[in-house]
A and B are shown apart, each in its own frame.
Chain A
Amino acid sequence: MESSRRKFLKIAGLSVLGVGAKPVLDSLVQAGEPTYATDQEALEGTHWAMVVDMKKCRDDCRDCITACHRGHNVPEINNAKHEIKWIWNEDFKHAFPTQEHEHLAERLERQPFMVLCNHCDNPPCVRVCPTQATFKRKEDGVVMMDFHRCIGCRFCMAACPYGSRSFNWFNPRNYLDDTNPDFPTRAKGVVEKCNFCAERLAIGKIPLCVEACKEKALVFGDLDDPNSEVRKILRERFSIRRKPGLGTGPNIFYVI
């Protein structure tokens, strides 16, 4: 008796499950889930980096800065407290404070160094971001910002030892005469920085600043590829990085 009731319950249970599950399974099959994919043209790399050849960089040229800031709708605010910078000039003693000394070559002393986010191997900005708005892409090492998620707490600004991040104290649109519709602006209360032109890498283009430099002072490439141009330059020439002692592992190299 006992065993037959158990059998009955088992069969009943299974058949209820079968009848109930069919429409669910059907609907799943019908849905034919949509899929997401990368662009076929996307540049392939596993460790993006940049080399800045300061022997080629001209003091009076701002082509890279103009191209980047135009392309990304970065507002021009002429106030050091409020300005927004993705790529900018810094003098040697501020860019490389631990390597400065009183007998520095005159050329280095006066030459403006082009600086941007270092897309660090071990980025402190990512570690401190409470919302994961700042994150490092495992696939290619780009340190990205998801502007949608930024809550403006500015922990990343405090954590970044290179001043690579800017905060929007005002609506940036008030400071833009001309906007590039292919890239959004930011909103008041959001932090921003160089994104290594992720939106261009995704469609097979090199970063804007690199493209804009007529002197070919900027070189972009994959550090994991021994045949890449960045690796070739680093093999042949002496290069330095900004504040290497901090252990952030910057991926922007300067040939001086």
Chain B
Amino acid sequence: MYDGGKITAGLVIFLILITFPFWYNRGKASTTPERPYPKDQKACVEATNYMKASHMQLLNNWRDNVVRVANRIYTNKNGKTFKMSLTDTCLDCHTSKADFCDKCHNYLGVLPYCWDCHLTEKGKT
């Protein structure tokens, strides 16, 4: 076989590279990021579990309602009302985008483009 040595060496290097993430992280369990929950608030717009799993759908509904239907007020299952606003309502409690949103989004590798347009500074009244 021509260049048998080179092929074997190449295969070995290839295997090392492709398995690198496995042995490099061996024994280290990756931990989910700790995020600060607001201390002065007991409940979010909806139940925490629902928010964890479905905040994107909720925000999408808010967006369509505000922009396309001119609805501004959201009443949750318990009858509590909120102004549908990312900057005003969400950031009122979750005051640090970097600590709350970014930590988890970075961990999961999702890059929502909300903040390309929406401003993180809390709304003036």
Residues of A within 8 A of B76 (CB): 34
Interface residues of A (CB under 8 A from B): 31-39, 42, 135, 137, 139, 144, 146-148, 179, 181-182, 184-187, 198, 201-203
What's the nearest-Cβ distance from chain A to residue B21, in Å? 33
Contacts of A179 on B, CB cut-off 8 Å? 119, 121
Does any Cβ of A come within 8 Å of B74's Cβ? yes
Q: List chain B positions with a Cβ less than 8 A from chain A.
A: 46, 61, 63, 65, 67-78, 84, 87-88, 113, 116-119, 121-124
Q: Could you say which residues of chain B place their CB within 8 Å of the CB of A32?
A: 77-78
A181 touching B117 in the complex, CB below 8 Å, given contacts A35-B75, A37-B71, A139-B70: no
Q: Tell me the complex Cα distance, A14–B83, Å.
A: 45
Set of chain B residues within 8 Å of A135, measured between Cβ atoms: 68
From A35, A181, A187, A198, contact of B70 by CB (8 A)? A198
Interface residue from A39, A147, A203 paired with B117 (Cβ < 8 Å): A147
Q: Chain B nearest CB: distance from A26 CB in Å?
A: 15
Whether A181 contacts B121 by the Cβ 8 Å rule is yes
Report, nearest first, the 4 A-B pairs whose CB atoms are least far apart. Answer: A184-B117, A181-B121, A36-B71, A187-B116
Q: Quick one: closest A residue to B71, CB to CB?
A: A36
Assess the B73–A37 pair: CB atoms within 8 A.
yes
A32 to B113, CA, bound (A): 31
Q: Which residues of A contact B124 (CB under 8 A)?
A: 181-182
Please, how many angstroms separate the alpha-carbon atoms of A123 and B90 in the complex? 35
Q: Give the shortest distance, in Å, between A1 (CB) and chain B (any CB).
A: 52
Residues of B within 8 A of A186 (CB): 117
* Contact A38 B72, CB 8 Å, known A187-B116, A187-B117: yes
**A181–B87 contact, CB under 8 A?**
yes
Which residues of chain A are near B121, meaning CB under 8 Å?
A: 179, 181
Contact A148 B63 (CB under 8 A): yes
Tell which of A34, A137, A181, A202 touches B72, judged by Cβ atoms closer than 8 Å: A202
Residue of B nearest to A137 (CB): B70
Asked whether A34 lies within 8 Å of B74 as measured between CB atoms, the reply is yes
Q: Find chain B residues with CB under 8 A from A203 CB.
A: 72
Q: With contacts A181-B119, A185-B117, A187-B116 known, is A39 near B63, CB below 8 A?
A: no
Contacts of B46 in A (CB 8 A): 34
**Shortest distance between the CB of B67 and any CB in chain A (Å):** 5
CA–CA, A135 to B71, complex, Å? Answer: 16
Show 25 residue pairs from A and B whose CB-CB distance is below 8 angstroms, ordered by the A residue: A31-B77, A34-B46, A34-B75, A34-B76, A35-B74, A35-B75, A36-B61, A36-B84, A37-B75, A38-B71, A42-B70, A146-B67, A147-B67, A147-B117, A148-B63, A181-B87, A181-B119, A181-B123, A181-B124, A182-B87, A182-B88, A182-B124, A184-B87, A184-B119, A202-B72
